[in-house]
Amino acid sequence: MEVTRLLHITLLITLLLYFCQAYNYETYFYKQKKLKYTGYLTSEQALADYVELITYLKSAIDGAKNSTVVAFGGSYGGMLAAWFRMKYPHVVQGAIASSAPILQFTDITPCEDFGKLVTADFSKESPECANVIRNSWAAIDSVTRNEAGLAWLTQAWSLCKPLKTPQDITSLKNYLVNVWTNLAMVDYPYPANFLAPLPAYPIKVVCSHLTEANNDPKPLLEEVFQGLTVYFNYTGDSKCLDINQQADSRLDDYGWDFQACTEMVMPFCYNGVEDFFEPAPWDFKSFAQTCYQTWGVYPRPFMAVHMYGGKDISAASNIVFTNGLLDPWSTGGVLWNVSETVVSLIIPEGAHHLDLRGSNPDDPPSVIQARMIEKTHIQNWIDEYSARYDE
């Protein structure tokens, strides 16, 4: 009798210890607290919120009861717009989904496509430009091997915080990956201020500084800095280069980081040959580990496909997808006409959701044309829906 009790107690203590060890009590509860609110940050919740809002507005605004509702969105917002129409066709009569990478998921879009397109945007200006960036990773490694080199790069690149640890070098490289990627996203034909204040065709301007790929590490990195200046100091107001701020801080990319760790798992990989990045395979296991450490959640790589259908969207209706071919996100976009009413418009000279920006004298004809076709579709949706309420 006594022995059995003792065994039970021992088992209980063992389990308790195991639990504490495995979950690290303190962080576990800290993460639960964070998730109390962040846990609602899902695409399903976002769509359900819109249903509430639209239903309320239709009842609260005089004369709005029978109005046609059209969803507009770019980027993740474009994904939401398309999914909104798919999931709630009785609430929204059509959707304009611009640069919406609803196919940027596991087993649908090859993970290397994105980086290849970023690279193509630069090598289109000059192969030398892409090669400077391709050679910069090794140049950083070779220069930062010792204290003197770390100090040199800190000074040469006007860094806000001195480089000290290997982690700092990783952060620096991540910053560069983001800058080159962002430039490809916002390569607009006129000065704009989306992720950072930038001149017209910023890649052309950056590449005008990246001309000698065979330079020794230090002169090569000095060139790279001239290129970076276009991105982080176009206004001339920057006191130093802050590698922790890769885009306009008002965008608050923590939200996206959480979503990428839950439903929006988008695999990216680089090989350094077909693209100019440091080789990095897609490693789901380590990605998942980082997600757990940061947010206390594990990603669900097939969630979006199960929830929204992946490529199998032929049952949908009334969606216009638009994609600019300069935009690396177009690799995960819908680039074919799915049906009569689910169409895809290609804007060869377009960057990230160019069509949703205001019109500009420097707009290429392809975006003007795309907007006209969008208008025709919207008119059809309105006519179709209004007909229900006519005598």
3-class SS shares of the chain: helix, strand, coil, % to 5:
50, 5, 40
Region near ligand NAG per CB under 6 A, out of 132-140, 236-244, 266-274, 284-292? 236-244
Q: Is 321 in contact with 344 (CB distance < 8 Å)?
A: yes
* Residue closer to ligand NAG (CB basis): 103 or 213: 103
* Residue closer to ligand NAG (CB basis): 140 or 347: 347
Bridge-based pairing state of the strands 319-324 and 70-74: unpaired
* In the complex, least distance from residue 337 CB atom to ligand NAG, rounded to whole angstroms: 4
* In the complex, least distance from residue 291 CB atom to ligand NAG, rounded to whole angstroms: 34
Residue 343 binding ligand NAG, by CB under 6 A = yes
Tell me whether residue 186 is exposed, middle or buried, using C-beta atoms within 10 angstroms of its C-beta: 0 to 12, 13 to 18, 19 or more.
buried
Site of tokens 């006594």: 2
* In the complex, least distance from residue 147 CB atom to ligand NAG, rounded to whole angstroms: 22
* Residue closer to ligand NAG (CB basis): 185 or 338: 338
Residue 366 binding ligand NAG, by CB under 6 A = no
Q: Is 333 in contact with 319 (CB distance < 8 Å)?
A: no
Q: Helix or strand or coil: residue 70?
A: strand
Closest CB to ligand NAG belongs to which residue?
Answer: 236
Residue 290 binding ligand NAG, by CB under 6 A = no
Query: Phi and psi for 347 in degrees, rounded to 5?
Result: -115, 90
Residue 337 binding ligand NAG, by CB under 6 A = yes
Residue 215 Ramachandran class (φ > 0 left, ψ -120 to 50 alpha, else beta): beta
Residue 297 binding ligand NAG, by CB under 6 A = no
Residue 248's nearest CA partner among 191, 192, 197 is 197
Q: Is 163 in contact with 329 (CB distance < 8 Å)?
A: no
> Is 8 a known active-site residue?
no
Residue 211 binding ligand NAG, by CB under 6 A = no
Determine the angle formed by the axes of helices 76-87 and 43-60, rounding to 10 degrees.
Answer: 70
Residue 36 binding ligand NAG, by CB under 6 A = no
* In the complex, least distance from residue 232 CB atom to ligand NAG, rounded to whole angstroms: 8
> Is 377 a known active-site residue?
no
Q: Which of 275, 327, 355, 363 is labelled catalytic?
A: 327
Residue 155 binding ligand NAG, by CB under 6 A = no
Residue 238 binding ligand NAG, by CB under 6 A = yes
The only residue of 4, 36, 59, 65 in contact with ligand NAG, by rule CB under 6 A: 65
Chain centroid, CA 153 distance in Å: 29
> Is 75 a known active-site residue?
yes
Query: Phi and psi for 355 in degrees, rounded to 5?
Result: -65, -25
* In the complex, least distance from residue 162 CB atom to ligand NAG, rounded to whole angstroms: 14
Residue 156 binding ligand NAG, by CB under 6 A = no
The only residue of 3, 21, 60, 236 in contact with ligand NAG, by rule CB under 6 A: 236
Rounded Cα gap, residues 231 and 33, in angstroms: 37
Beta strands in 240-376 (DSSP E): 319-324, 342-347
* Residue closer to ligand NAG (CB basis): 131 or 246: 246
Residue 380 binding ligand NAG, by CB under 6 A = no
Rounded Cα gap, residues 306 and 44, in angstroms: 12
Q: Total number of residues binding ligand NAG (CB under 6 A)?
A: 18
Q: Is 231 in contact with 184 (CB distance < 8 Å)?
A: no
Rounded Cα gap, residues 44 and 29, in angstroms: 25
Q: Which of 352, 355, 363, 377 is labelled catalytic?
A: 352
Site for ligand NAG in 44-63 (CB under 6 A): 63
Residues near ligand NAG (CB under 6 A) are 63, 65-66, 158, 233, 236, 238-241, 335-337, 343-346, 389
Which residues participate in catalysis according to the annotation? 75, 327, 352
